[in-house]
Amino acid sequence: MTKPTALKMLEGNPGKRPLNQNEPKPEIESQPPAPPAFLDKAAAAKWVELADILHPLGLLTAADHDALSRYCTSWAQWLIAQHELQKEGLTAEAANGLTHQSPHFHISNKSVGVNILFA
């Protein structure tokens, strides 16, 4: 997939290829968009933080709302899992006394798209 022209320009067009002058440009709202109502408190806070950074750069349009919502939700899930891991550690003890990987470790990795295999 081709990198958006706005990103190439921010990076100084390192490839020195001609910039696409006919690239579709979704309309940019006059103000950073408010977070969707379905986001929890942590995800909504991340939305506001990122919208305040991306909007002035012209990198947040209506076409980006779904992707930003998914990212903020994943980030909030990761944050919860990280807090639990800090409290409980990477392993947990089962009722039978055996030690196993904390389910929060799996949630943390899945929420940021990391797949780690253990032998």
pLDDT tens digits, 37-82:
999 999 999 999 999 999 998 889 888 999 999 999 999 999 999 9
Q: Average the pLDDT over 93-97 and give the result.
A: 86
24 is a domain residue: no
In angstroms, the first-to-last Cα distance of the chain is: 35
95 is a domain residue: yes
Evaluate if residue 118 carries a pLDDT over 60.
no
- Give the per-residue pLDDT at 70: 92
Here the tokens at position 28 are 């940019």
pTM: 0.71
CA distance 32 to 56: 8
Domain span including residue 47:
38-119
- Say how many domains are in the chain: 1
47 is a domain residue: yes
What sign has the CA pseudo-torsion 114, 35, 68, 9?
Answer: negative
42 is a domain residue: yes
19 is a domain residue: no
20 is a domain residue: no
Question: Greater confidence, 45 or 103?
Answer: 45
1 is a domain residue: no
3 is a domain residue: no
